Chains A and B, each alone.
Chain A
């Protein structure tokens, strides 16, 4: 129990009222333990991004109980227990890469020396030290996302939330980035909640895949991914990998049919 980073019981989220009422999420029961890599996957409207934002206190649940890192989501946010990465890197153009990574630390009031040291550390973690003094527009999409990840982890949060971070990248870069994320996950021992549209991506990255379905948004099935670590190109070509992809795909289809 004490190891649960995220605990959701009967969580629901409703938008709007009357004729415009949308039940984005209903009856979400989920437990995420420390060190896991969880993917949320499902078609549009299944509420996966909404669930991610509920965990991050960017939205508030309409019903149910949600505990993040043993606290109310709001307190977890105020204590900066999580970092978040979006599909658009949202780096600030007017700051250098280094200054971007330092941004959360600035906001937290961390003194300058410590900020710089931490930023350097994170940039070497994502292997972008030489680009520290560049500006975001000088970097490729994949590199920008790496900076965004470095920024999200700069204050060593327990939890990393990722909302389709590789959606805007091409397939080759995507696979490289997936490898990168796994490496970073192992090195930092963070818990990751990862929203994706891609079945192979979900299976490759996760310890568990949470399959969701829409109307109303709910969890239809959770698929365990017992593939061994470290995962690499060989994993992508193994039989178990394909079997699990099929299992997730079937789960998605069943979820839609209901």
Chain B
């Protein structure tokens, strides 16, 4: 049936107005279009500014105490005053996050490839990874602190690596394994070797899943590093800075540091998005809609 959908079916919203369409969901590699982005985030951005203005105005008007609700202007001021300190802390934390991200990510890809090759890994490690992912991995932070010296970045990298490993491994394995049977049959009929099948079919099929999990992992690595620091760390990392300021009720300083964390997180995410577009130009330009 090729007739276009009719808007008379008002119970079922036509997909073109799906605001959600531009957002990365758990369908891997779902592309975001810039216009959809602006349409989706435009109103939010405008409202964000409005909220900021209102927030400032109201806290001034009612002379709200700083420790109850800091003014945006105070946060901005602390951001400027402490600029060097919090950015230095931010980079140290990012270093930990990046280290863990790389180690965890590489290991995850290696193990994902192993699930293709050896069924023992597939039957054993994959269920374990899925179960392990339901556990609060952050609880490993104090152990890492004790093993690798609480002031060393390695202690945080270790935790981040574990946090990143499981989702990346699970999703990449899924992408490598869940190949259409017809594609496999096609290649076997052409007498392709397992390695060729890997290269020609499995890896391209896995790329969307892989990048999708990397995007999630990028956010997890920043948050993981900061939270691991909450369990203990040197003075000059973001987590400890935030915690100390919070315990001293110096909230504007803490918020300024969180702004830095958010900026770093968003930038990291964007880098992955760019990398994804470079790696999979075909996929993004296809602009598939939700197939659920």
Which residues of A come within 8 Å of B, CB atoms? 15-16, 22, 24, 44-45, 47, 49-50, 53, 58-60, 163-164
Contact = CB atoms under 8 A, between A and B. Distances in A.
Closest 5 CB pairs of A and B: A49-B1, A59-B6, A50-B3, A15-B4, A44-B2
Contact of A60 (B2, B4, B8): B8
A22 B4 CA distance: 9
Contacts of B2: 44-45
B4 A58 contact: no
B68 interface: no
B8 A49 contact: no
A110 B1 CA distance: 34
A36 B3 CA distance: 26
A50 B4 CA distance: 10
B9 interface: yes
Interface range on chain B (Cβ under 8 Å from partner): under 10
Contacts of A22: 4
A53 B8 CA distance: 11
Nearest to B6: A59
Interface in B9-55: 9
Contacts of B9: 58
A16 B5 CA distance: 10
A60 B8 CA distance: 8
Contacts of B4: 15-16, 22
B249 to A, nearest CB: 53
22 contacts: A15-B3, A15-B4, A15-B6, A16-B4, A22-B4, A24-B3, A44-B2, A45-B2, A45-B3, A47-B3, A49-B1, A49-B3, A50-B3, A53-B6, A58-B6, A58-B8, A58-B9, A59-B6, A59-B8, A60-B8, A163-B1, A164-B1
A58 B8 CA distance: 7
Contacts of B8: 58-60
A45 B2 CA distance: 6
